[in-house]
Every structure is written in structure tokens, then in C-alpha cells.
Chain A
Amino acid sequence: MTALLSARGLCKEYGKGDALVRAVDDVDLDVAVGETVAIMGPSGCGKSTLLHLLGGLDRPTRGEIELAGSRVGQLGERALARLRRDAVGFVFQAFHLMDELTAAENVELPALLAGRSPRAARRRALELLDRTGLADRARFLPSALSGGQRQRVAIARALANDPAIVLADEPTGNLDSAATLDVLRLFDDLHRAGQTLVIVTHDSRIAATADRLISMRDGEFTDETRLTGGTAGSLGKLAGLEG
């Protein structure tokens, strides 16, 4: 199993002396190609900070990260920005779409920034919107879309440069039950297509779609479990049909 992303002894500290907070405390993590890993924990456990470190949005106090063959700690700001743009797709709770751009324009933006031709970028954007079930919404502004649709646009945008890994921070945090199911379906499709995914969340629904689930408390990993294989029992039982 090749690790696409690995972290060793990762720490992130804030403050000093008595006020020192270890948001991430000596974390080791390996994510294999094609794997979906969910990191779950209560708010304030450090999971968002960890995701930011993994994606090179923030630098660790200590520890090493290797992402898609690059040692992140050795990269300067420019090289790091390039790695983020080319290798990582980010999905956030609050979507972070540009309000004055249409869905298609939002999705093509990362490809344009990466130097692709406007035509190629647009073609790719339309493909991705089709894949996320939004082909007929390409010309809509985010304000004309529902929360679930906005998040699907954001996911399409995250895929614009065919990233090696998608990092998602509470992607269903702002969504109702039906919209959550749409986003879960989409992540499931990506997973089947071999996309590597790391999701931090406190939504148990999205965590339950992962291959591997890691629990985090006070900056540390406290439990890890594989959810694939084995089944917990019949659905009939869950619905109260039997025993």
C-alpha cells in the first residue's frame, strides 16, 4: 500500500507557557491512494487545524508531512502554493464560492489559475458540473442555488485540477438531511472512481461512508476503526421488524 499522504509526529501549538494549547498533538497518519479516511471528533478537538496542516494551508510547529511525493516542510511559500493548487482540492463547510461568478466560472477558476486555456478550463468545468448533477445550473449564480447545490459546485471546483487528494472540512455541516444525502452520494461516486479523500467532520453520516474512521480528542488520535467488511446486522432489525 503506497501512502499518498503521510504525517509523522505532527504538532501544532498556539500560545506560550501556561497558555500553551496543543491543537494537534503528535499525530501520525498515512492515507493510501484511493482511500477515504474520516477524522471525527467534537468541536475544538483539533481536526480542522489538522486538515489545514495536511493541505499545506498552515505550517506545523513540529513534525513532517509528505504529500504526493513532496516533503511539505522543505517547500518555500511559492512551491507550497503550487502543490496546494495542483495536488489538493479543498471543500469547506461554508462553500467559499465567489458570489459574483456563475457556477461554471467558479469551477473553472482553479484551472485558469493553473494556466490552462480558457477553453480547456470551461470544458472541464462543464464536465464536472455534469458529474455532480448540476449541468443545468452552470450559468446560475451561487445565490440562486440551494445549499446542497452550492456544496456540489464547491466539490466540482475542488476537482478542477484533478487533485491527488481532496480534503474536506465539515462538508455537510450546513446542509439539511436530503442535501447531505446528495453530497454523500457524490463522495461515494468519487471514492468508487478512485479519488483519495480525507474528511474531517462531526457528522456521523459522512463519517460512516469512510473506509477508515479515526477519532480525535484533545489534539490526539484516540481510536481507529475500519468500517469496511463485516456487517452489523440486518436492516430489518434496525427498523424494528425482528427481534
Chain B
Amino acid sequence: MAFGVTTEQTNGIAKISLSGELDASSAADFRTAVEQVATEKPRRLVLMMDKLTFMASAGLRILVFAKQKMGREVDIFIVGAHDAVLETIEMTGFHHSVILLDDYDAAQIES
């Protein structure tokens, strides 16, 4: 399935929605989206992954990049990641650096 990425920003919360397969060929688009939202200096980054079916190591590299690009004070939420994607994140230990949520918890994210 083709990769898709959309962005939106409200109230200092940047939201990037991913769909399809994130691999070496599509990672560049994800990266561009991260760079784009970074210019607005959001206080939170939310990555909607409920429509993401697959993530390869290239995608993980962009997550690492996002964490560094956003800066230490910016919390990164990963919402709705599928089991396989979650597992990849857990295997590398990256889950310690982000906040994993099953659903969009407005109370937590928008506070």
C-alpha cells in the first residue's frame, strides 16, 4: 500500500498522520513532514499511526530524527500503532523515548 503523510497544527500541537508502508523509499516524505512542522516550534508532536501497516528501520531512523529535531522539551506521542509496528519500536528500546497511546487521548495530549 502506498505511503501517505499529512500534517496539521493546532494550538502548538503538531499532528502527523501516517498511512500505508513506511520504508526506505517513503521515509524521505516522513522526514520532510517532520522538518516542516518543526519550523512552527510546536510544544507537542503527535504521530497518528493507526493507518500505518508497516515500518522498516528507515522509519525508525526518522523517529529518532524527529525526537532530536523537536528538542528535549517536546513530548512525542505515538497513537494507535499496530502490533508489528509497536514491536519494532519496543525491540530497539525507542518506546522509552516516546509516549505510546492506543487512542487519541485529548485530555493527555492537549493539556
A binds B: no
